[in-house]
Amino acid sequence: MSEDIKVSIRNLYKVFGAEPQAAMEHVRAGMDKADLLEEHGHVLGLKDINVDMHAGKITVIMGLSGSGKSTLIRHLNRLIEPTAGEVIVNGEDVLAYNEEQLRRLRRENMSMVFQKFALLPHRTVLENAGTPLEVRGYERHEWEDEARKWLNRVGLEGQDNQFPHQLSGGMQQRVGIARALTSNADIMLMDEAFSALDPLIRTDMQDLLLELQEELHKTVVFITHDLDEALKLADHLVILKDGEIVQQGEPQRILLHPNDPYIVDFISDINRARVLRVRSVMQKTDQPRPGMAGEVDADDTLESVIALSEGDTALSYRVMRNGQQVGILSVKELVRALVPTAAAEDGIRAKAG
Amino acid sequence: MASYDFLFDGLGLREWCDAGSSQAPMSMADLIGKSQGGDAPARSIWDLPFPSMDALNDACPNFPQARELTKGLENGFLSIKDGLSLFLDPLTQPLSWFLEGALWLFQTVPWFVMIPLLLLVVQLVARSFGLVLFVAACIGFLAFIDHYDYAMQTLAIIFVCAFLCVLVGVPIGIAMSRSNTFQNITIPILDMLQTLPPFVYLIPLIFLFSVTEPKLYGIAIILYAIVPVIRLTNLGIRLVDKEVIEAADAFGMTSWQKLKGVQIPLALPNIMAGVNQTIMMSLAMVVIASLVSAPGLGVLVLRGIRNLELGVGLVSGLGIVLLAVVLDRVTKAALARVNAAQKQ
Ligand SMILES: Nc1ncnc2c1ncn2[C@@H]1O[C@H](COP(=O)(O)OP(=O)(O)OP(=O)(O)O)[C@@H](O)[C@H]1O
Ligand SMILES: [Mg+2]
């Protein structure tokens, strides 16, 4: 597993309004979002954001509407200019880029997928998919094959000459993804890319993304307000609230150790058996023990173990990864893990209060 | 005794008022007063006139009368007129050539070439066989009642003016969509152009250019008809979906690529609606412009009015209606085609 950092956001602040720099002073002095709006008429979009995004991983940014997700992702390719802070991509500070360098970054290093697809309605599916290369100055015969390849890859064979409005929403977003892939950028930004789709198609698209990711290993920044989606896709999960990060880390860890009542609320409704994995609740040991009822995989969901045990809490299983024992899971522990945890004492709310 | 004496006395301006005043020309009220014999009796407060220029002039002979305003404007205009035409004349000369050229072309090409040519254009623009038939019937009818030449003159003028409106108007609209300041400056001018009664354009133009030159009516038509195409280009570009613009930026388009590849194509339905209105307004103005020697069907309408030739006026009016319907249908059909190609 390569752990090199592809994108790094440092102390990022964004204040919307007429005089953001002046308002920044108040923010630095500790004023919160509501007061800033009331007393100075400025909106605090983002406050002291620090995130590292690893190469080849999916970083999911989750939060409710208005929490600043879109604002954050738009800082990565500078569709929005920050008020303070740094955005470092491939070791270079993007904010120091001039127009030409920035255009290069957007053309070659980052692609984007949008919530409402944002396809060009007057161009065919093939032309839409070829846009990134066309923008770079390639001729049609040069980009056609590449665009067609990615259209086929996302399951749109033979739709080349359709117009976007002739396709269903799910198919349009496939074009959006093909367009992002055609650019051959290694960072892919997805702003609520699947939120406009109905649930079944949404699941299909999530599977498509995971499947592509298996093969392409892009650095994906994915935004969603849906926890199930976040848990399904995330390697690294960042939870935003009112422009601040409340918690970030491995999704399973956040589920088992939420550090804020906000997150507890958030996760209280999900089906924990379906999202928690054996590896997160097992007892780590490579010592064999007697009386095991069988073997389960470290990445199995708890749900599948419950099914296997048929509800018998007396049983225990060996947990295997790549043929090696990595731990022991007793069904009793498993059941305990299904009960939602209260916020840890060191949560930021606790600190503040 | 004038009503506002107290004002000038109070301000200590009495001396300035009377200085070297050899009684200014009398206002109408004075004349009436005089003719009724002598000074009017002391007036009650109910008769206090509005402190207009004339009323103030009563009290203070050195204060200008209202008629001096119009005269001043006129003199001002006349004094810059020569300088203005020195600069405007060569600038607008091509317009005269275009109009003369188009009029010559439309009248010299024989009808059996011209009519099929026009129908071909209709087919290319609208792609509708039914519409071609309809246009053929209209032109055929106009030709049959011997209005073909007049109709062609009107069409020639409209083609030239509408073409120039688009040529100039679309870039102005684009500039407006990119700069709020420029938009704020331009909108009042457009409002003025649109609300001024068309006859009013003609007055300064008559002073600037000779009535025999085609550019006189050309300018009048363009000024009147250019407004919608500018407005709708601006609006169309501003209404382009924000997310699509964001996508264009995110893929690193330059602003020229964005304009050419995204904004103009997506604004096209609105721009076309503007062109349609521009053409209809050119037609309306070309009739009025016959007052300043624009040839075409308008001349016949004018003759109908001047000589009280009811039949001539009505038939040419009908001709104009037919042309209007034809132009409207053809441009709307083109618009519908653009719309169909890019509904979201
Ligand atoms: N241009 C702007 N001017 C002022 N305030 C803005 C601007 N853009 C965003 N905001 C504010 O910043 C906050 C975060 O907005 P943002 O669009 O990033 O939220 P989001 O998390 O993407 O929400 P959603 O799920 O609705 O898309 C909101 O309070 C919003 O009102
Ligand atoms: Mg958003």
Domain A272-337 = CATH 3.60.9.10: no
Which of B251, B341, B344 minimises the CB distance to A135? B251
Residue A333 amino acid letter:
E
Q: How confident is the model at residue B39 (pLDDT cuts 50, 70, 90)?
A: low
Chain B residue with Cα closest to A116 = B243
Work out how many CB contacts closer than 8 A connect A with B.
64
Closest to A88 (Cα-Cα) out of A146, A149, A9, A192: A9
pLDDT tens-digit map of A263-284: 888 888 888 888 888 888 898 8
How close is the nearest chain A Cα to the Cα of B252, in Å? 5
Rounded to the nearest 10 degrees, what angle do helices A169-182 and A125-135 cross at? 30
Ligand 2 ion: Cβ-proximal residues, 5 Å cutoff: A 70
Domain with CATH 3.40.50.300 in chain A: 52-249
In this structure, are B37 and B100 located in the same domain?
Answer: no
pLDDT in tens, B262-297: 999 999 999 999 999 999 999 999 888 898 888 999
Token pair in block for residue B212: 């025999």
Count CB neighbours of A16 within 10 A: 15
Mean pLDDT, residues A78-100 taken together? 93
As a whole number of angstroms, the distance between CA B183 and CA B171 comes to: 13
A336 touches chain B (CB under 8 A): no
pLDDT higher than threshold 60 for residue B79: yes
User: How would residue A353 be classed by pLDDT, with cut points 50, 70 and 90?
Assistant: very low
DSSP string across A321-347: ETTEEEEEEEHHHHHHHTSPPPPPTTS
Residue B8's pLDDT band (cuts 50, 70, 90): confident
Same structural domain, B167 and B216: yes
- A104, A105, A112 member nearest B247 (Cβ): A112
Residue A336 pLDDT class (50, 70, 90 cuts): confident
* Domain assignment of residue B201, yes or no: yes
Tell me, yes or no, whether B69 lies in a domain. no
Q: Ligand 1 within 6 A of A65 CB?
A: yes
Beta-sheet strand order (sheet of A236-241): A110-113, A187-191, A219-224, A58-62, A236-241, A244-249
Ligand with the closest atom to the CA of A114: 2
Q: What is the DSSP pairing of strand A5-16 with strand A43-54?
A: antiparallel
Note the pLDDT of residue A146. Answer: 93
Per DSSP bridges, beta strands A92-93 and A244-249 are unpaired
More confident residue, A274 or A175: A175
pLDDT above 90 (res A119): yes
Contact (CB<8Å) B342/A116: no
Helix, strand, coil percentages in chain A from 3-state DSSP, rounded to 5: 40, 25, 35
Q: Report the candidate in B190, B186, B168, B166 with the shortest Cα–Cα distance to residue B176.
A: B186
Asked whether residue B171 falls in the same domain as residue B44, the answer is no
According to the 3-state scheme, what is the secondary structure of B177-189? HHCHHHHHHHHHH
Return the ∠ at Cα B296 (arms to B292 and B299), rounded to 5°: 55
Q: Is A118 on the interface with B (CB under 8 A)?
A: yes
Q: Who among B246, B266, B342 is closest to A79 (CB)? A: B246
**Which DSSP string do the residues of B244-281 spell out, in sequence order?**
HHHHHHHTT--HHHHIIIIIHHHHHHHHHHHHHHHHHH
**pLDDT tens per residue, range B194-215:** 888 888 888 888 888 877 888 8
Sequence-distant (6+) residues with CB within 8 A of A156 are A125, A171, A174, A175, A178
Please answer whether residues A1 and A49 qualify as being in contact, where contact means their C-beta atoms are separated by less than 8 angstroms.
no
- Across the interface, of B250, B253, B261, the residue whose CB is closest to A112 is B250
Which two three-digit tokens encode residue B332? 């709307």
Same domain, yes or no, for B37 and B178? no
pLDDT at position A62 over 60: yes
- Provide the whole-model pTM: 0.83
**pLDDT the model gives residue A229:** 92
Q: Are A178 and A156 in contact (CB under 8 A)?
A: yes
Same domain, B338 and B192: yes
Choice among A90-94, A180-184, A342-346, B1-5 with the minimum mean pLDDT: A342-346
> What band does B37 get if pLDDT is binned at 50, 70 and 90?
low
Name A104's Cβ contacts closer than 8 Å, sequence gap at least 6.
B252
Q: What residue in B sits closest to A135 (Cα-Cα)?
A: B253
Tell me, what's the pLDDT at A88? 94
**Taking residues A169-195, what's their average pLDDT?**
93
Probe target for ligand 1 pocket from A40, A70, A244, with the most ligand atoms within 8 Å of CB: A70
Closest chain A residue to B241, measured at CA: A118
Residue B136: what pLDDT?
95
- For residue B29, what pLDDT is reported? 60
Q: In terms of C-beta distances under 8 Å and separation of at least 24 residues, what long-range contacts does A204-210 make, across chains too?
A: A204/A170, A205/A170, A205/A173, A205/A174, A205/A177, A206/A232, A206/A233, A208/A154, A208/A155, A208/A174, A208/A177, A209/A58, A209/A177, A209/A233
- Tell me, yes or no, whether B75 lies in a domain: no
Of A101-115, A226-240, A247-261, B198-212, the one with minimum mean pLDDT is B198-212
Q: Look up residue B342 and give its amino acid.
A: Q
Same domain? B126 vs B23? no
To the nearest whole Å, the CA of A132 is away from the closest chain B CA by: 6
Q: CB of A45 closer than 6 A to ligand 1?
A: yes
The predicted pLDDT at position B52 comes to 87
pLDDT at B20 (0 to 100): 64
Q: Residue B18: what pLDDT?
A: 79
Judging contacts by C-beta atoms under 8 Å, the chain A residues touching residue B241 are 116, 118
Query: Residue B208: what pLDDT?
Result: 82
Lowest mean pLDDT among A27-41, A317-331, B27-41, B46-60: B27-41
pLDDT one-digit tens code per residue, B218-254: 999 999 999 999 999 999 999 999 999 999 999 999 9
Q: How far apart, in Å, are the Cα atoms of B98 and each of B88, B94, B105, B160, B293?
A: 16, 6, 10, 7, 16
- Atom of ligand 1 at shortest distance to CA of A72? 18
Structure-token match 């589920």, residue found: A255
Asked if B231 and B294 sit in the same domain, the reply is yes
Do the Cβ atoms of A112 and B257 come within 8 Å?
no
Question: Distance, in angstroms, between B333 CA and closest chain A CA?
Answer: 18
> Residue A118 Cα, ligand 2 centroid: separation in angstroms?
14
Q: Which ligand is nearest to the CA of A240?
A: 1
Residue for token pair 């919160």? A32
Q: How far apart are CA B188 and CA B115, in angstroms?
A: 42
More confident residue, A344 or B165: B165
Q: Give the distance (Å) from ligand 1 centre to CA of residue A94.
A: 22
CB spacing of B246 vs A110 below 8 angstroms:
no
Half-sphere exposure (CA, 13 Å, Cβ side) for B66? 10
B59 and B123 belong to one structural domain: no
Q: Taking CB atoms and an 8 Å limit, are A135 and B257 in contact across chains?
A: yes
The arithmetic mean of pLDDT across residues A218-236, rounded, is 93
> What is residue A74's predicted lDDT score, i.e. its pLDDT?
95
Specify whether the CB–CB gap between A293 and A242 falls below 8 A: no
Domain that holds residue B35: 5-64
pLDDT of residue A348: 46
pLDDT score at A86: 93
**Residue B257 touches chain A, beta carbons under 8 Å:** yes
Q: What's the rounded Cα separation, in Å, for the pair A102 and A343?
A: 42
Q: Which CATH code of 3.20.20.140, 3.30.420.40, 3.40.50.300, 3.40.640.10 fits the domain covering A52-249?
A: 3.40.50.300
Q: Are residues B339 and B302 in the same domain?
A: yes
- B231, two tokens: 């407005």
Q: Mean of the per-residue pLDDT values for chain A?
A: 90
Is B72 among the domain residues?
no
- Residue A234 pLDDT class (50, 70, 90 cuts): very high
Q: Are residues B56 and B98 in the same domain?
A: no
How many angstroms separate the CA atoms of A129 and A146, rounded? 9
DSSP state of A89: E
State if residue A70 touches ligand 1 by the CB under 6 angstroms criterion.
yes
Instruction: Provide the percentage of residues in chain A whose pLDDT is more than 70.
Output: 95
Contact A227, A266 (CB under 8 A): yes
pLDDT at residue A290 above 90?
no
Helices A199-216, A169-182: crossing angle, 10 deg rounding = 20
Distance (Å, rounded) from C-alpha B255 to C-alpha B248?
9
| pLDDT tens sequence across A148-157 | 999 999 999 9
Q: What's the structural domain count of chain B?
A: 2
According to DSSP, the residues that pair with A239 across neighbouring strands are A62, A247
Which range is most confident: B75-79, B90-94, B273-277?
B273-277
Q: How confident is the model at residue B43 (pLDDT cuts 50, 70, 90)?
A: low
Of the candidates B252, B265, B343, which has its C-beta nearest A135's C-beta? Answer: B252
Protein residue whose Cα sits closest to atom 12 of ligand 1: A45
**How far away, in angstroms, is A45 Cα from ligand 1 center?**
7
Q: Is A89:A76 a contact under the CB 8 Å cutoff? A: yes
Residue from A27, A47, A67 to probe ligand 1 pocket by mutation (most atoms less than 8 Å from CB): A67
Sign of CA dihedral A222, A223, A224, A227: positive
Give the pLDDT confidence score for residue A2 in this predicted structure.
44
Residues B155, B105: one domain?
Answer: yes
Reported confidence tier of residue A73, pLDDT bands at 50, 70, 90: very high
pLDDT at A30: 85
Residue A303: how many other CB atoms lie within 10 Å: 16
In this prediction, residue A350 carries a pLDDT of: 41
3-state secondary structure of A87: strand
Q: Which ligand is nearest to the CA of A226?
A: 1
Indicate if the pLDDT at residue B23 is higher than 60.
no
Q: Within this chain, do residues B113 and B39 fall inside the same structural domain, yes or no?
A: no
Interface check for B39 against chain A (CB to CB < 8 A): the answer is no
Q: Tell me: pLDDT of A101 over 90.
A: yes
Question: In terms of residues, how long is chain B?
Answer: 344
What are B130-162's pLDDT values in tens digits?
Answer: 999 999 999 999 999 999 999 999 999 999 999
Confidence band for A52, pLDDT divided at 50, 70 and 90:
very high
pLDDT number for residue B6: 83
Query: Within a domain: residue B312?
Result: yes
Q: Note the pLDDT of residue A162.
A: 92
Residues linked to residue A58 through DSSP beta bridges, in sequence order: A220
Of A54-68, A69-83, B10-24, the range with the lowest mean pLDDT is: B10-24
- Give residue A65 CA to ligand 1 midpoint distance, Å: 8
Name the residue among A341, A335, A179 with its Cα closest to residue A260: A341
